[in-house]
């Protein structure tokens, strides 16, 4: 876990790591995990279903929803760090090119 922790805590593209070639693979895997919100969204949908089916009450829902929102925000922050697309926030029409 030591290596992973260092990667998580270090600025991602920083020059701290001398041996880039070994790290690129790790970098990619970690990056994919940090920036993938699919499992989080699946958890959110499962949680909503539990509420709909009356398996959990509102309080339980709100508590677990807060955890999921925290995870979603973390993923969004990582995506922004990597310059990847994120949903939400202000947008505008792309000037050039016709809409599809």
Partner 1 sequence: MTAAESASAATESASQEGKYVYCIIRNDRSREFGEIGIGSAARVYTVAHKDLSAVVSDTPIVIYDPTRENVLAHEFVNETVMREFTLIPMSFGTIFRSENDVRALLNSTYQAFTDVLDKMQDKIEFGLKILWDRDSVVAAIERDNDEIRRLKDEITRNAASSTYFARMQLGRLVEAAMEEASNRYVNDIHEQLKEVSVASRSSKVIGDRMILNAAFLVERKDEKSFDEKVKAISLQYEDLLTFKYTGPWPPYNFVNIKLKLEKAT
Which positions lie near partner 1, rule CB under 8 A? 42, 44-46, 48-49, 51-53, 61, 65, 69, 72-73, 76, 86-94, 97-100
> Given the complex with partner 1, which of 15 and 89 has the nearer CB atom?
89
**Spatial separation of the C-alpha atoms in residues 32 and 34, rounded to whole Å:** 6
Closest separation in Å from C-beta 3 to partner 1 = 32
* Residue 83 phi, psi dihedral angles, 5° rounding: 70, 25
| Residue 55 per-residue DSSP state | S
> Given the complex with partner 1, which of 28 and 70 has the nearer CB atom?
70
Closest separation in Å from C-beta 72 to partner 1 = 7
**Spatial separation of the C-alpha atoms in residues 91 and 95, rounded to whole Å:** 12
Label residue 75 exposed, middle or buried (CB < 10 Å: 0-12, 13-18, 19+): buried
Closest separation in Å from C-beta 69 to partner 1 = 5
> Given the complex with partner 1, which of 34 and 51 has the nearer CB atom?
51
């Amino acid at each position: 876990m030591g290596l992973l922790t260092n990667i998580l805590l270090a600025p991602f593209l920083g020059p701290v790591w001398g041996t880039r070639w070994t790290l690129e693979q790790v970098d990619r895997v970690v990056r994919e995990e940090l920036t993938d919100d699919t499992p989080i969204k699946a958890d959110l949908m499962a949680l909503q279903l539990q509420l709909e089916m009356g398996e959990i009450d509102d309080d339980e829902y709100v508590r677990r929803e807060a955890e999921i929102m925290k995870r979603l925000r973390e993923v969004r922050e990582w995506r922004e760090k990597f310059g990847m697309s994120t949903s939400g926030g202000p947008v505008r029409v792309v000037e050039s090119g016709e809409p599809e």
